[in-house]
Every structure is written in structure tokens, then in C-alpha cells.
Amino acid sequence: MFRPINLIILAVLIAGSLLVAREAMRRGGPADVSGAVGEQVVIGRTYRVDQGFVSRTGQAPGVAFTVILPKRPEQTHTIGVEELPEGGVVQFNFRAIDETFLESLFMAPIRIPLADMDERLAAIGPKLAEQGPALLGRKFEDVTAEPVREVRVGAGEGYRAMELRGTYLDPRDEARYSYRFIALPDPERAESLYAVSHINQAHLAIEGGDFGPSLTGKALSTLRLTAPPVRESAQEQGGAGSE
């Protein structure tokens, strides 16, 4: 039976609770590069879930990907990278130079059994609609939700995905945020991608449900799913170290 509920609960609560937390880590990914996405060019830092991720964390997640975290030379925001947040693979925290929270992007694995893509999307759409707003309501106030819709996410033509979006008020700082939940079935694997983004409306107001101009939206526009890395055996690790 298709049951993403546990992951959705965890992703929502963890991603929400980290909204105003200070950045814990800044690691992963090489120097600045640029990547073309359709007619858009995103300049920033490439982050990969690959063998390097396994070496740093000791974990081999079931879902792997590459994204570009947007930052042009003239921009002053910081990008905090927290690997292996509870329930997830990575969380990116974008902050102003004065540490004001701008946006966050939480990425986690979610299992969506292989089937016709229409069936996979149809199975997860109602779960997002039923559970997302109710779960947000446990922690936040004045939660709004738009109808779940199919979107394209990623580089080139993108991947088919289901999206739930809306807004809420965080009683901790009396600030309003836009949110976006995305369930993206991997076309080749049951282990797929679940992403949650939060955007401080004081930083950027989302118009017409268009997350494209946001930092997290730009990052997701560069997404490429890759084959999951494997964890080396102790023998392989020992052999590599002896060379």
C-alpha cells in the first residue's frame, strides 16, 4: 500500500522547526559554477549527493541528485548546508548577511512504488492535499492551501511531480511564509524525492503560485536525479587507504 504519511509528517515538522534555527553546517559541493536550465542560467554552488556524500556522512541515501544553489557574485546571502537532518538527506538554509531567514529547502527520500507515471502521481496527490495543511496547522496559524497540481521540476524539460503550496503564519516571529511541498517520482526507481521549501514573505512575495524567482525555486530548476551512491565495504575502504 502506498503510504507516504510518515515521511510527510516528519518532513513538515522538521523543516518547519528549522526555519529560524541558525545554520549548523556549511559543507558539500565544490567551487562556484554555472548551469543552463532551459533559457535560464543559474550561477552558484553545485551540490551533489554522490560518493563524496557517502564519504562525509557514512550514509548512502536511497535517492541521489545534483542541484545548483544560486548565488551570484554580487549577492550577499549565505547558504547553510545541513547534511542528514532528521528524516532527510539535506537541508539548505538561505539567510541574509545579518542572519535573517530567507528560505529553506529540505530534501528527503520517499518511496513511490513503480507503476505508470499517471498512477504514481494520482496516488500521491490526495495524500498531499489531505495531510499537508492539517499537519502545518499543528505548528503554525492561518494556514492556507491551494489545490494540488502537477508541475515540472528540474533541468531541461524537468520531471513530473505533484505540488502543494500555500501560506501560514509562524507564531514564533509573527511572520508569514509561503510553503511548497513537492513529491517527485523517480522515473526509474521506486525511491523518489520529497522536497519542502519555506520562503519568508518579507524577503519575497510569491505571486500567482510562481516559485521560479525564489532561491529555492531556482535551485530546484537545476535538479537532476542521479543513481544512488553505494557505501563501500570495509575491505574496499581499507584497500583505498593503503594505496
Check pLDDT > 50 for residue 148.
Answer: yes
Positive or negative CA dihedral for 243, 231, 104, 194? positive
Label residue 78 by pLDDT band (50, 70, 90): very high
What gap in Å lies between CA 116 and CA 158, rounded to an integer? 17
C-alpha grid cell for residue 121?
502521481
Mean pLDDT computed over 169-192 = 95
Q: What is the pTM of this model?
A: 0.82
pLDDT above 70 as % of the chain = 79
What gap in Å lies between CA 87 and CA 127, rounded to an integer? 18
Dihedral over alpha carbons 229, 235, 238, 239 (to 10 degrees) = -90
pLDDT digits (tens, 9 = 90+) for 42-59: 999 999 999 999 999 999
Provide the 8-state DSSP code for 164.
E
How high does pLDDT run on average in the chain?
A: 84
* Contact partners, residue 4, CB within 8 Å, separation at least 6: 110, 111, 112, 124, 127, 183, 194
Mean pLDDT computed over 232-242 = 49
**In this structure, are residues 178 and 163 in contact, taking their beta carbons and an 8 Å threshold?**
no
What gap in Å lies between CA 216 and CA 97, rounded to an integer? 17
Label residue 40 by pLDDT band (50, 70, 90): low
pLDDT digits (tens, 9 = 90+) for 17-30: 444 333 323 333 33
The confidence score (pLDDT) of residue 29 equals 39
pLDDT above 90 as % of the chain = 73
* Side-chain-side CA neighbours of residue 228 (13 Å): 17
The confidence score (pLDDT) of residue 231 equals 82
